[in-house]
Amino acid sequence: MPSTLLLRNADMVVTMNEDRREIAGGGVFAQDNRIVAIGPSAELPQTADEVIDLAGHVLLPGLVNTHHHMFQSLTRAVPAAQDAELFGWLKALYPIWAGLTPDMVRVSSETAMAELVLSGCTTSSDHLYIYPNGVRLEDSLEAAAAIGLRFHAARGAMSLGESRGGLPPDSLVEDEAAILKETQRLIERHHDAGRFSMRRIVVAPCSPFSVSRDLMREAARLARAYGVSLHTHLAENDSDVAYSREMFGMSPADYAEDLGWVGPDVWHAHCVKLDEAGIRLFGRTRTGVAHCPCSNMRLASGIAPVRRMRCAGVAVGLGVDGSASNDGGHLLGEARQAMLLARVGHGPADMTARQALEIATRGGAAVLNRDDIGVLAPGMAADLVAFDLRTPGFAGAGHDPVAALVFCAPATVAWSVIDGRVVVREGRLATVDLPVLVERHNRLARRLVRGD
């Protein structure tokens, strides 16, 4: 027997469908892991195995996070890395990250995922690019399964150490043949290409300044042989662009094109300094971008040209980026910062609240190359989140409850359904014991940074 779930009486349902329909007094009826019906509550089935009344709530598609480094939750607010730009920040943290263990990756990933889910995220990617002391991608895959998060695990890698002109210390880089072999193993073992997939593998060398040209090319070849996506960092700040011009004699976008790193199966994090030709190239090739406003502000990288990218047809999603350069993992908060930062750069009409929510939902789905999430409609995955507006933070914002989600202070999600399963129930994460997890996480963070 299929199990059924009815969410009804929401003050507003935000569908994010083609005509951006919003339904007052609406709801969603789901069967197993997919949406069967959506509309005014009176027009939906009246019974289900579980019925959730959403009076006072806004219901919307689960938010999609397209860029993260979850292990960095262990190194938030580290004093030596608080006030530096990208390269200085990385150099302060590399030696600490060298002490990561499988247990630390597993626990920090689970903690970062819990934080994300409580902020409205139902699908996330994670870019794990550091593998000391026996760490494996399986450590983060297991965390996602424990939390119940829809997960795109990006197998990152660094192969170009300081002695060969790269940024990371030689002790932290891997052999390129071994990287490719391990990535192939992970795809064959774990990648689920099917509709409603909860687990996809992504091929993801870390950045132009930490891997070779050869590895970038071979990675693209490997990904395309298996039909999986490609992900890396690109054009993050001025130093990143200067490195590209000096080492490769071309702009980051031209470098990406030269390597075969453009197309709907590719997304790049940041692109703060993507030039006009790069924007046109990404638009033409449907290449995706993960916009990470908090990290860009924190590291003073600049303001990404989000509006110009979207006008050119570039798929843009949101990313909280690593927990050590944000240092938060609140995805609804990230949507708010995207709106605010766009306005600082280009005026108050540059991004509306609804556009910020669009980037956070269907934008992220497009970036991850998925057509089964990011929109509430029959046949889509049952990934839904509801925020309770009956709180002090939303008081007086009932004139436009949808815009209020972005204009008001970032709220914790009240209900989250992922793949048809209730993962957050009345503001509480149902899948893990959070106080125990956080205590364990903090113990490991102390051990990593201070050697306790």
The DSSP result for 196-234, as a single string, is T-SEEEEEEE--TTTS-HHHHHHHHHHHHHHT--EEEEE
Residues of span 243-302 touching Zn ion by CB under 5 A: 269
Beta carbon nearer to Zn ion, 119 or 323: 323
- Compute how many residues bind Zn ion; rule: CB under 5 A: 2
In the complex, what is the shortest distance from the CB of residue 123 to Zn ion, in angstroms, rounded to a whole number?
Answer: 17
For residue 80 the two structure tokens come to 């030596």
Beta carbon nearer to Zn ion, 33 or 237: 237
In the complex, what is the shortest distance from the CB of residue 427 to Zn ion, in angstroms, rounded to a whole number?
Answer: 29
> Which residue's Cβ has the minimum distance to Zn ion?
321
Beta carbon nearer to Zn ion, 223 or 269: 269
In the complex, what is the shortest distance from the CB of residue 126 to Zn ion, in angstroms, rounded to a whole number?
Answer: 10
Q: How far apart are CA 84 and CA 328, in angstroms?
A: 17
Beta carbon nearer to Zn ion, 157 or 269: 269
Q: How far apart are CA 137 and CA 401, in angstroms?
A: 40
Provide the CA 267 distance to its chain's centre, in angstroms: 11
Q: How far apart are CA 223 and CA 418, in angstroms?
A: 27
User: Would strands 150-157 and 199-205 be described as parallel, antiparallel, or unpaired?
Assistant: parallel
Residues of span 294-333 touching Zn ion by CB under 5 A: 321
In the complex, what is the shortest distance from the CB of residue 30 to Zn ion, in angstroms, rounded to a whole number?
Answer: 33
The Cβ of residue 110 has, within 10 Å, a number of other Cβ atoms equal to 27
CA dihedral of 431, 48, 150, 296, whole degrees rounded to 10: -90
Tell me how far apart the 2 most distant CA atoms of the chain are, in Å: 68
Q: How far apart are CA 158 and CA 168, in angstroms?
A: 8
CB 234 within 8 A of CB 271: yes
In the complex, what is the shortest distance from the CB of residue 216 to Zn ion, in angstroms, rounded to a whole number?
Answer: 16
Beta carbon nearer to Zn ion, 265 or 321: 321
In the complex, what is the shortest distance from the CB of residue 269 to Zn ion, in angstroms, rounded to a whole number?
Answer: 5
Q: How far apart are CA 49 and CA 40, in angstroms?
A: 19
In the complex, what is the shortest distance from the CB of residue 117 to Zn ion, in angstroms, rounded to a whole number?
Answer: 20
Beta carbon nearer to Zn ion, 337 or 431: 337
Beta carbon nearer to Zn ion, 321 or 388: 321
Q: Interface with Zn ion by CB under 5 A: which residues?
A: 269, 321
